[in-house]
Amino acid sequence: MRGWIERTVRTDVQARTAYAVADPGTAIRLNQMENPFGWPADLWRACMESLSGAEINRYPDAAGRELIAAIRAHDDLDDAWGVMLGNGSDEIIQPLIQAICDGARPVMAPAPSFVMFEVIAGQCRVPYVGVDLNRDFSLDADGLIAAMQRHNPALLFLAQPNNPTGNLYDEADLRRVIEACPGLVIIDEAYGPFSSRNHQSWLGQYPNLLVMRTFSKMGLAGLRCGYLVGDVAWIEQINKVRLPYNLGVLNQAVARFALTEGRAVLAQQSAALRVGRDQLFDALSARGLRVHPSEANFMLLEVDQPSAVNASIAAQGVLIKDLSKAHPMLARCLRVSIGTDAENAAFLAALDVALKAQR
Ligand code: PMP
């Protein structure tokens, strides 16, 4: 078998490490920017009833018409804008790269940013160029524009708020970068429900801009549903390389239910997480730690010996993310997602123990 694999699997794939997520067991999960709240029982029951009779014997609507209509209503989008669905927004990155990149012009993004931009570019054998943010995680607009002139990217991903730094870039810098980009710009608004800026309203202003969103951070990470919005002519092209039945019947139906009947609950949950975020920020700052202000449902904090602190917190049953090896700028950084009040308190207690052990 080994010989077969070595002879037949692409060598760059053999050299890759799989995206692995450890079984969290019973630990408190503050490592994946999930919404910690489930649905109230009556909403869940109504959702189940709405699924009764769903035609799971048939292929789903490949065009996702009903779900897209609900997304249009939710986001206040008229028919001038096309919407493409993905099985999570992760999945949308792939058809975007396949439709746009011919393998010569690179994909670009600031660094550090969401890792899947680089991972999927690599899987598609498209070069990738990351351009460092400034030390304070603001966008180095001049540096990025100079790099774009040098590398001529076909695609530029800008996560807003950015993962893992949690911030929004200065609006004028962002606009300057979009205007200077020789390729297509994707603003990834995965953390939109927690952010003070909405970039969908920028769509009409730039011919080379699309906006990607996800249901995951809104509270439905288990559903796997994301979407891309932009001029119908762009969406028509990218849709050609999407797998036609990428969202199942149940997936589409629950997503639609969530955007309509579940809308108020999801909005309340996001609002509670914004409050929890601000409280956690204050609690961490009060401990004298450097904490980075966040417009998302997570934040970065800096500690001495982050890997040891993370290991101690994990040993106490709370999972957060050690980013100290992810990028030199993050050498002191841990990322914590916002949980319920009880989960945030458990994290703080575990952090206190870990920091005390250091002294
Ligand atoms: N974009 C960003 C910036 C993210 O951080 C994530 C998930 N962590 C995603 C996209 C992907 O989300 P999903 O595939 O769950 O929609």
CATH of the domain at 308: 3.90.1150.10
The verdict on 86 and 223 lying in the same domain is: yes
Considering the domain boundaries, does residue 161 fall inside one?
yes
| Residues 330 and 315 placed together within one structural domain of the fold | yes
Tell whether 164 and 206 lie within a shared domain: yes
Residues with Cβ within 8 Å of 62's Cβ and at least 6 positions away in sequence, in order, are 244, 245
* Contact criterion met (CB below 8 Å) for 211 and 181: no
Q: Identify the weakest region by mean pLDDT among 11-25, 137-151, 204-218, 232-246.
A: 11-25
Indicate whether 359 pLDDT > 80.
no
Report the atom number in ligand 1 closest to the C-alpha of 114.
Answer: 3
Q: pLDDT grade, residue 32 (50/70/90)? A: very high
Ligand 1 centre distance from Cα of residue 53 (Å) = 31
Give tens-digit pLDDT for 69-89.
999 999 999 988 999 999 999
Distance CA 269, CA 249 (A): 26
- Is residue 317 domain-resident? yes
Residue 164 has pLDDT above 80, yes or no: yes
Domain interval for residue 66: 54-260
What does the pLDDT read at residue 344? 98
What mean pLDDT is reported for the chain?
97
Look at ligand 1, atom 6, and give the residue with the nearest C-alpha.
190
For residue 337, tell me if it sits in a domain.
yes
Judge whether 7 lies within some domain.
no
Q: In this structure, are 113 and 207 located in the same domain?
A: yes
The residue among 216, 245, 260 that closes a domain is: 260
- Pick from 34, 114, 165 the residue to mutate for probing ligand 1's pocket: most ligand atoms within 8 Å of its CB: 114
pLDDT tens digits, 223-267:
999 999 999 999 999 999 999 999 999 999 999 999 999 999 999
Regarding pTM above 0.95, the answer is yes
Q: How far is the CA of 64 from the centre of ligand 1 (A)?
A: 21
Do 151 and 73 lie in a common domain?
yes
Q: Whose CA is nearest to atom 1 of ligand 1?
A: 190
Q: Measure Cα distances from 159 to 76, 109, 171, 213 in Å.
A: 21, 9, 13, 10
Q: What is the pLDDT of residue 76?
A: 96
Q: Which of 225, 227, 226, 187 is nearest to 206 (CA)?
A: 187
CA 157 to ligand 1 centroid distance, Å: 12
Return the pLDDT at 80: 87
* R_g of the chain, CA atoms, integer Å: 21
Please check whether residues 230 and 248 belong to one and the same domain.
yes
Residues 97-124 have a mean pLDDT of 97
For residue 150, give the CATH number of its domain: 3.40.640.10
pLDDT at 29: 97
Is the predicted pLDDT of residue 20 greater than 90, yes or no? no
Residues 142, 278 within the same domain: no
Cα–Cα distance, 326 to 310 (Å, whole number): 14
Rounded to the nearest whole angstrom, what is the distance from the C-alpha of residue 189 to the centroid of ligand 1?
9
* Index of the ligand 1 atom closest to the CA of residue 113: 3
Counting Cβ atoms within 10 Å, is residue 247 exposed (0-12), middle (13-18) or buried (19+)?
A: buried
Q: Whose CA is nearest to atom 2 of ligand 1?
A: 190
Question: Structural domain tally of the chain?
Answer: 2
Inside any domain, residue 15: no
Q: Read off the amino acid at residue 306.
A: P
The pLDDT-based confidence of 271 (bands split at 50, 70, 90) is very high
Same domain, 128 and 269: no
Q: Using one digit for the tens of pLDDT, what is the confidence trace for 276-299?
A: 999 999 999 999 999 999 999 999
Same domain, 143 and 245: yes
CA of 322 to the centre of ligand 1 (A): 18
**Domain co-membership, 145 together with 204:** yes
| Residue 16 in domain | no
Residues with CB under 6 A from ligand 1: 33, 88-90, 114, 159, 163, 188, 190, 214, 216, 221, 226
Question: pLDDT band for position 179 (50/70/90)?
Answer: very high
Query: 234, 260, 286: which is the final residue of a domain?
Result: 260
Report yes or no on 67 lying in a domain: yes
Of 188, 210, 220, 321, the one to substitute when testing ligand 1's pocket (max ligand atoms within 8 A of C-beta) is: 188
Mutate which of 19, 187, 217 to test ligand 1's pocket (most atoms within 8 Å of Cβ)? 217
Say if residue 103's pLDDT is above 90: no
Quote the CA–CA distance of 333 and 314 in Å, as a whole number. Answer: 15
Residues 102 and 247 in one domain: yes
Measured distance CA(328)–CA(249) in Å, rounded: 44
Q: Quote the tokens at residue 22.
A: 């450890």
Q: Last residue of a domain, which of 260, 291, 313?
A: 260
Verify that 254 and 273 share a domain, yes or no. no
- Mean pLDDT, range 111-138, rounded to an integer: 97
Query: Can you tell me the mean pLDDT for 303-317?
Result: 97
Residue 3 lies in a domain: no
